[in-house]
A and B are shown apart, each in its own frame.
Chain A
Amino acid sequence: MKPKVVIAGGGAAGMAVALRLERLGVEPVIVEREERLGGKVRGWHKLFPTFTPAAEVLDPLVAQIGRRGIECRTGAAVEALSEHGVKLASGQTIEADAVVVATGFTLFDARRKEEYGYGIYDNVVTSADLERMMNEGAVRLADGSTPRRIALLHCVGSRDEKVCQRHCSKVCCITGVKQAIELKKMFPEADVFNFYMDIRMFGAGYEELYREAQQSYNIHFVRGRISEASPMINGRIQIKAEDTLTGRPLRMSIDMLVLLAGMRANDDNAALAASAGLALAPNGFMQSADPFLGAVRSPRRGIFYAGAVTAPKSLADTLAEASLTADAVMDYLNSVQR
């Protein structure tokens, strides 16, 4: 009989782990809270730094899951877990020989940074909203017109004690550069400004894209955090920041403000961790057994991690990590069988 592994979370990480495990002779079961597989990537339009449509990555994964006949329990949330299986919110339990936690992250709720006016004024959107609009085919202002001046603000819900988010969400910098280019492509006449504190271009091709944004797309980069956004009588938004490189306050009116919302640890991480005796990192993400040799292992044998449940990660990193997780699961299954 094949060993059975429950994977909590049917996003990119969960699916990639499931596919890999299936090839290695394991019977994976995916438990996904949403009605469909795909996780956060499903709402994304194009991926950095190559502008690859998200569907080109996601669709093959979903299709293969179907082709391979991997069991998926969608619309089912994991409430508690142990190395012997998971308990669903419905009360049902699924027994297994190992468990992989791939429940990902929660998008920071930009309404918590009230001073930016998200949810209060028109035309203040998040990076996720922008992707959705692009997926829907058109980026427009609330009145249907096209924006002439757009600002993207980095670090919304990242590196911010005031919203209890000390960590860097890692992917927003490059997302901001990517979206700035996309906006500029859509609206060549528009001025696009990125307000940043530090530009962290850690991945392959990122720095190059940053340079391209500056050189080929004439995207302006202003070093300073926007402190307030307020509505103007003409419907535009006035933003205030310090242009820290000149040391002077800066104010400007814009048509659209894009907030690059960060990655937050899931609220139910604590409950999951408590149910299985796992540990949380200070930022609320799951704590791995070891940052170097045990990044995909939990402190508890038989429970493994994949993807952004342990820390903010890019899609590329998540997919690469999935193989490591599958590998660690196999090692474990082999050791307990013997």
Chain B
Amino acid sequence: MTFFAPFTIPFIIGGAIMAAVLLAKYTLWAVRLPREDKRLIRRNILSFKSLAALWEVVRESLLHVRIFRVNPVLGYMHSSLALGWLLLIAVGWIETVAYLGLRWVPLQGHVFFKYFMPVNGITQHKAGFELAMDLLLAVVLSGVALAWIKRMRSRIMGLRRTTKHVLFDRIALSALWFVFPLRYLAESVTCAIYGGGSFLTGSTGSLLASHLDAETLAAVYEPLWWCYSIALGIFFSTMPFSRYMHIFTEIPLIFLRRYRLAPGIEPKSYDHFEVEACSRCGICIDPCQLQSVLGIDEVQSVYFLRDRRYNMLQLSVANNCLMCGRCQTKCPVGINLNTLRLNSRSRMRNIPNEGRFNYLSGIDRSSGEGRTGYFAGCMTMLTPRTLSAMDTIFRAAGDDIWHADRDGGVCCGRPLMLSGETTAARKMIEYNTDLFRRHGITRLVTSCPICLRVFREEYALDGIEVMHHSEYIRMMIAEGRLQMRRTDMRYTYHDPCELGRGCGIYDQPREVIAAVGELVEPAHNRRDALCCGASLANTVIDDSQQMRIAREMTGELEATGAGTIVTSCPLCYKTIKRAAGTETKDISEVVAENIFQP
């Protein structure tokens, strides 16, 4: 038995193209990894991290647990296709072994086993194999059916929007849609002629045999196997250029991520693994407020990654994002969507003009003396209520404060970074780091989550405890240096994106509010909190669009019935104040008003 027939040629060619391209891509990406990343791989590859990664591959690449959590129907669709197909291959292989013993069979021999050996082989467990193969095929076909439904009527699948695809995707998608129905038909016709099969192919086969004469069956037999092979060939050859690249790419990604590789603010080779691991499932579209409130399409993470992958990324797409991070919390592949967008902006916008911030040298407008430094932040200068509340709090806590920017400081650098000007941002970072060091502070408090994030992520401030003012206040209450007076006020709290999803600070502000009054939560909160719309990360949408997002968000806050809206970011605060009719306060104000002085 040579296990060769002309109809297998499309499959063989397709498979070869896929294997070659995959190998070339992965090798190239791996070789181009920065030295630092390679070192991480070498250090971790022979550790438990690899085992953990393997387990994650099973959970995510096959079972798709995370998609299941977000959307069970979508999860079933993915796992029925992935796991079903894998098992079809695996059981098929076992079947071959069971019939022929352990001997070498070319790949097409396994794949088209039914064609090559429709009736031959041993009889032992035959019915079991036939049943298993039919069962698996039925599962995969149900997944294909769901994929059809998702394309046609996405709402049934619980998605408001699905992704719009590029040409390669459409070809691969169409081929994939036909692969399994064609296999089903080809196997059924084989069963009609030779017998065999189980509840699916077997019964369809007998149905066909009873309605069609032997000549007709013989006439469609070969063409059907040709079609099946062609569909497979087309799918395999387009697969590395389409979104289906994610099927394999997710596996190395999971391993690399376990080895602590991550994207940075400058693009690097590792980014390819993240970008091409995107399955374009479109889960990121629905949480995007640019879509849900403003109806803006084609800018969401899925499109951003798509455009970046095919080198057709426009600045207007890269820039049109609030970077609120809501999509990132939902991404079933766990792609670092914000960081990738940030480093895309950096590549497109970074201006290597070294001298542009020379004017910073020698400037020191700070005032006061103390081990605790207070960096209010640029925006906080426009919210004097917060400034005076912080003064009250510092006084009550008995802390001596060095004011970094009371008389106007230098920006923290994050706004430049968010706009892709990373080298320029470095100048700010160097300036401020030097300023903090020179004044010998051991603690740095800021009222602006935007500053906080860059202080934590990009500044090297070892020996200086960096905290947001909500953290500081909570600590002071815990230490007994601030005593709160409880009131019967009802508050609701808005999680600023940079503080919540950005820095993981959800509980501290809530504990502070709970020390003063009752806290009622809005419909979306914590990791799922809505963005206020005024994010510095977006320089495309205009004032009225920002306000539409803000009104939608404040609507939820006001629906809680709370008497006061509390937040802890000057930008959110300003925006909510503009959009809401309800009294709005920064958390520091709520505290300053309710300090208990015995």
Contacts and interface: CB of A to CB of B under 8 A. Distances in A.
A164 B384 contact: no
A121 B385 CA distance: 10
A228 B385 contact: no
Contact of B543 (A161, A163, A229): A161
Interface in A152-187: 161-164
A256 B531 CA distance: 38
A283 B447 CA distance: 35
Interface string A73-117: 000000000000000000000000000000000000000101101
A228 B382 contact: yes
B36 to A, nearest CB: 44
Interface string B372-384: 0000000001111
A141 interface: no
A120 B385 contact: yes
A268 to B, nearest CB: 13
A188 to B, nearest CB: 32
A117 B381 CA distance: 11
Contacts of A231: 388
A264 to B, nearest CB: 14
A120 B391 CA distance: 13
A117 B384 contact: yes
A112 B577 contact: yes
Contact of B384 (A120, A161, A162, A163): A120
A201 to B, nearest CB: 30
A146 interface: no
A164 B387 CA distance: 25
B543 A114 contact: no
Contacts of A120: 384-385, 388
A115 B382 contact: yes
A230 interface: yes
A54 to B, nearest CB: 32
B456 interface: no
A73 B385 CA distance: 41
B578 interface: yes
Contacts of B577: 112, 114
A65 B379 CA distance: 53
B589 to A, nearest CB: 10
A164 B385 contact: no
A228 B387 CA distance: 13
Nearest to B388: A120
Interface residues of B, number: 10
Contacts of B384: 114-115, 117, 120-121, 228-230
A114 B388 contact: no
Contact of A163 (B381, B385, B387, B578): B578
A228 B379 CA distance: 11
B382 A114 contact: yes
Interface string B566-594: 00000000000110000000000000000
A231 B388 CA distance: 10
Nearest to A113: B382
A213 B383 CA distance: 34
Nearest to A115: B382
A167 B382 CA distance: 23
A120 B543 CA distance: 27
Contacts of A112: 577
Interface residues of A, number: 14
Chain A CB within 10 Å — which of B382, B383, B384, B543 has the most? B384
A114 B383 CA distance: 6
A56 to B, nearest CB: 39
A115 B381 CA distance: 8
A229 B381 CA distance: 9
B32 to A, nearest CB: 48
Interface string A215-235: 000000000000011110000
Contacts of A117: 384
Nearest to B382: A115
A228 B408 CA distance: 11
A121 B578 CA distance: 21
Contacts of A163: 578
Interface in A196-247: 228-231
Nearest to A111: B385
A231 B433 CA distance: 28
Most buried by B among A114, A162, A164, A228: A114
Contacts of B387: 230
Contacts of B543: 161
B447 to A, nearest CB: 14
Contacts of A228: 381-382, 384
A161 B547 CA distance: 11
B392 to A, nearest CB: 12
Contacts of B382: 114-115, 228
Contacts of B385: 114, 120
Interface string A4-47: 00000000000000000000000000000000000000000000
Contacts of A162: 578
Interface in B536-557: 543
Residue from A112, A120, A121 having most chain B Cβ neighbours under 10 A:
A120
Interface in B93-107: none
A55 B67 CA distance: 74
A112 to B, nearest CB: 7
A163 B547 CA distance: 11
B332 to A, nearest CB: 40
Interface in B343-375: none
Nearest to B389: A120
Nearest to A230: B384
B587 to A, nearest CB: 16
Contacts of A164: 578
B534 to A, nearest CB: 11
A324 to B, nearest CB: 35
Contacts of A229: 384
A162 B543 CA distance: 9
Interface in B176-197: none
Contacts of A114: 382-385, 577
A180 to B, nearest CB: 25
A157 B432 CA distance: 36
Interface in B374-414: 381-385, 387-388
A162 B387 CA distance: 21
Contacts of B388: 120, 231
A331 to B, nearest CB: 40
A121 B382 CA distance: 14
Interface string B474-518: 000000000000000000000000000000000000000000000
A163 B577 CA distance: 9
B374 to A, nearest CB: 15
A2 to B, nearest CB: 43
Interface in B433-448: none
25 contacts: A112-B577, A114-B382, A114-B383, A114-B384, A114-B385, A114-B577, A115-B382, A115-B383, A115-B384, A117-B384, A120-B384, A120-B385, A120-B388, A121-B384, A161-B543, A162-B578, A163-B578, A228-B381, A228-B382, A228-B384, A229-B384, A230-B381, A230-B384, A230-B387, A231-B388
Interface of B: 381-385, 387-388, 543, 577-578
Closest 3 CB pairs of A and B: A115-B382, A117-B384, A120-B384
Given A114-B382, A114-B384, A162-B578, 20 more contacts: A112-B577, A114-B383, A114-B385, A114-B577, A115-B382, A115-B383, A115-B384, A117-B384, A120-B384, A120-B385, A121-B384, A163-B578, A164-B578, A228-B381, A228-B382, A228-B384, A229-B384, A230-B381, A230-B384, A230-B387
